[in-house]
Structure 1
Amino acid sequence: MITVLAIGGAGALVEEFSRNDVMVVESAIRDEGTSVHYLPPGRRVDFDPDEVQRIVSGLGQHGISARTGITWTTDADFRETHARVERRRAEGCAAAEMEAASLAAVCQFRGVKYAHVLYSGDALHGEFWSERAWTTSTRRGQLLEAAIALRMQ
């Protein structure tokens, strides 16, 4: 079976998801337009728990601490209003990004194992958006190296 591992940055919806923290997605809120073409309508898409734990453990073996969590996938820029952020936080979301639910839906439809790793970038949980200089983070490179090593195991 083919395994796909996506790595990307995400906006933090909670203070506990600090800049450069790492989260392996266990579930994604479906607030985008792609997943409905591959899965029946639903509020969220769940990820394979065994694969999630394999990735968390593998990252730990490479010196990268990772938590598991729920993300909010939205495919529209500037959709993260205060009210929406609060609603997603109430649903347990720690992050917001633009790909996880879509990629998970396609992979489930095609019978492909899939996991998604996010590192925390900008912050959406405060009164004002905080860029937190996340585009200069070295975390993406570290995660890429770990992902390549995990793929070789």
Structure 2
Amino acid sequence: MRNLAIHTTLCGFFLLLLTGQTTPGCQSQQGIEGKIVFESGNQMPGPGVQREPAKGVKRELLIYPLLKATELEAEGNGFYSEPAQPPVKTVTSNDDGSFRVQLPPGNYSLLVREKEKLYANLSDGAGHIHPVEVKPNEMLQIEFKITYAAHY
């Protein structure tokens, strides 16, 4: 029994070391998971309109402590300057746009690196940039849409 526990611990350690992720049950599963998608073209509803579906994309996702838009320089169309503080975590999505990152409970802002700048197109009523709340023992499901090339 003791050998099984050691083996399980070592497997979890090497999985964390190689992939940045843990095995189920090794650690509380809390953070953010989802998909980063790119939308382009005409997204307006209407008869005979052919909309291009959103496509999952590989992008760098930067997770910051909760940021207000007034803390960054807006460069238009959802693009922002780099914040003064470094991100809490950075993760790169897979080719299909999927990602998973563990985080401690708290409030965060999400931005993606796009065209050598940072991009986010959501804010709340208080002016926070793409806010998310990570709760204890919960994986928050999100879809991060990159929409600057889409028309609505």
- Taking structure 2 as the reference length, the TM-score comes to 0.30
Larger RCO: Structure 1 or Structure 2 (Cα < 8 Å, ≥ 6 residues apart)? Answer: 1
Q: Report which of the two has the higher share of helix.
A: 1
Q: Report which of the two has the higher share of strand.
A: 2
